[in-house]
Amino acid sequence: MQIAKVCGTVVSTQKEPSLQGVKFLLLQFVDVEGNLLADYEVAADSVGAGLDEWVLVSRGSAARQTPGGESRPLDALVIGIIDTVSVENLMLYRKRDQDR
Amino acid sequence: MQIAKVCGTVVSTQKEPSLQGVKFLLLQFVDVEGNLLADYEVAADSVGAGLDEWVLVSRGSAARQTPGGESRPLDALVIGIIDTVSVENLMLYRKRDQDR
Amino acid sequence: MQIAKVCGTVVSTQKEPSLQGVKFLLLQFVDVEGNLLADYEVAADSVGAGLDEWVLVSRGSAARQTPGGESRPLDALVIGIIDTVSVENLMLYRKRDQDR
Amino acid sequence: MQIAKVCGTVVSTQKEPSLQGVKFLLLQFVDVEGNLLADYEVAADSVGAGLDEWVLVSRGSAARQTPGGESRPLDALVIGIIDTVSVENLMLYRKRDQDR
Amino acid sequence: MQIAKVCGTVVSTQKEPSLQGVKFLLLQFVDVEGNLLADYEVAADSVGAGLDEWVLVSRGSAARQTPGGESRPLDALVIGIIDTVSVENLMLYRKRDQDR
């Protein structure tokens, strides 16, 4: 999985029928020092992630391992909202209390 | 998924039999600031995307998650035509009204 | 899929038994302006592609989506010989008539 | 598989229900000369790897090939703790005795 | 598939139980001119490849397409020992006679 920050949304009405109701988040990847990268991924969201939150994103066939999602043509999925990232016992990121 | 712009087509008559009737679009990837990249993907299209439109493209086994498409040797699929892309509450892209 | 040019062959006699009879082509990727790249892929061929032809190559599990090929340890497959590539209504590539 | 060093942890409480109890390790990749790279992966761990240990990480659908893990939306898994890495008959890495 | 040279081994005793008895080879990728690259892959071997031999390596789910290997968390497999690589009718590589 990669660490990414929710930075936007993508809306598509003319799409594969199986994708009705799927929310697409625009994620920018975060490097191991916490910097925002130019690389991005558009991922389906099923955990209710919001703008500016850090999330874990799975890619590939993992993105279809949700109840009822096995047959959707998705290759990226937000699998969790990140609370903390620790690197060598230092806290790189902590979700803000007001967001919890 | 990645954001890409339809920039052309690829035609192949001598191909795997299961690919008869599949339309191949040439897509160029778009970065998170809306610039066209040199990287491209040739993807099957089932949503009727046209030249210069922005689309969402899925890669890997996701490209076979369509009714009847499970056994085609495809690794990229246009899954939707993009209406809008919003980044940090700014509109990066909006499909032109005349194209809707 | 990616666009690639057939530039050679790879021969292996001591291999996984399920690969007996599979022909391995050495492909070099082509960029969106038609230039040959250094990146390559060794792909199985089932459409009879020949040296210097441009082909479409699928990677990942797509490479096993052929009748009888589901259990072969392949991750790249030539899925079609390209007739034409058009970019923004200009012809980037056309298979030579003598090769048709 | 890639060689990586365990450099941290990621905690997420609001996540896909199937991921309850999964431990997420932050891994930094190691190059073939033993240097730590900036690229990282967040991987599930089922072998009990600890901070600073070198591990083998599998990515893609391989990450779900564990008993009971077939339906989890994971794309990276620590599959083993590395004892030794030998390159051209030289020992690049040996797990410290006190860690065994 | 990619062309790679066997340059070492990785040993892991504390690993996923399904990987008992699997031999892990350290492979360095070879470019299309025959040069050794810094990029590497640790792959399972089932064809008996030896140090300094050139091999074909499959990645992704292809690595599990061996009899009895379907449920192992592997993402890279040596699928064959290379005899020859020909590029534009020139021999780039030929396995040494004494190794045959």
Of C62, C81, C82, the CB nearest to B74: C62
In the complex, which subunits touch B with 3 or more CB pairs below 8 angstroms?
A: A, C
Domains of chain C, residue spans: 2-98
- Calculate the average pLDDT of chain D: 95
Q: Do D16 and A47 touch (CB under 8 A)?
A: yes
pLDDT for the residue B99 = 55
Taking CA–CA distances from C48, the nearest residue in chain B reads: B14
D27-74 per-position pLDDT tens digit: 999 999 999 999 999 999 989 999 999 999 999 999 999 999 999 999
Whether residue D19 has pLDDT greater than 80: yes
Q: What is the pTM of this model?
A: 0.95
With a cut of 70, list the residues of chain A below it in pLDDT. Answer: 97-100
Task: Give residue D15's identity as a one-letter amino acid code.
Answer: K
Query: Rounded to whole angstroms, how far apart are CA atoms E16 and E22?
Result: 11
Decide the pairing of beta strands B2-11 and D54-59.
Answer: unpaired
Taking CA–CA distances from B53, the nearest residue in chain C reads: C88
Query: Rounded to whole angstroms, how far apart are CA atoms E22 and E75?
Result: 13
Mean pLDDT (whole number) for C33-51: 96
Whether residue E11 has pLDDT greater than 70: yes
Confidence of residue C97 (pLDDT cuts 50, 70, 90): low
**C71: number of Cβ within 10 Å:** 13
pLDDT for the residue A79 = 98
Q: Do A73 and B65 touch (CB under 8 A)?
A: yes
Instruction: Calculate the alpha carbon distances from B12 to C69, D26, E33 in Å.
Output: 22, 44, 29
Q: Do D84 and E13 touch (CB under 8 A)?
A: no
Task: Give residue A53's identity as a one-letter amino acid code.
Answer: E
Whether residue B12 has pLDDT greater than 80: yes
Enter the ipTM. Answer: 0.95
Query: Rounded to whole angstroms, how far apart are CA atoms C11 and D19?
Result: 44
Question: Which class is domain E2-98?
Answer: mainly beta
Start-to-end Cα distance in chain C: 22
pLDDT for the residue D83 = 98
Closest chain A C-alpha to B56 CA, distance in angstroms: 8
Q: Do E48 and C14 touch (CB under 8 A)?
A: yes
Interface of E with D (CB under 8 A): 7-16, 18-19, 24, 26, 28, 38, 40-43, 51, 60-61, 63-64, 71-76
Residues 6+ apart with CB under 8 A from B26: B6, B7, B8, B9, B10, B40, B42, C32, C85, C86, C87
Quote the tokens at residue B56: 């969402």
Mean pLDDT (whole number) for E59-71: 96
All residues of chain E having their beta carbon less than 8 Å from the beta carbon of residue D92 are 8
Q: Do A8 and B83 touch (CB under 8 A)?
A: no
Whether residue B98 has pLDDT greater than 60: no
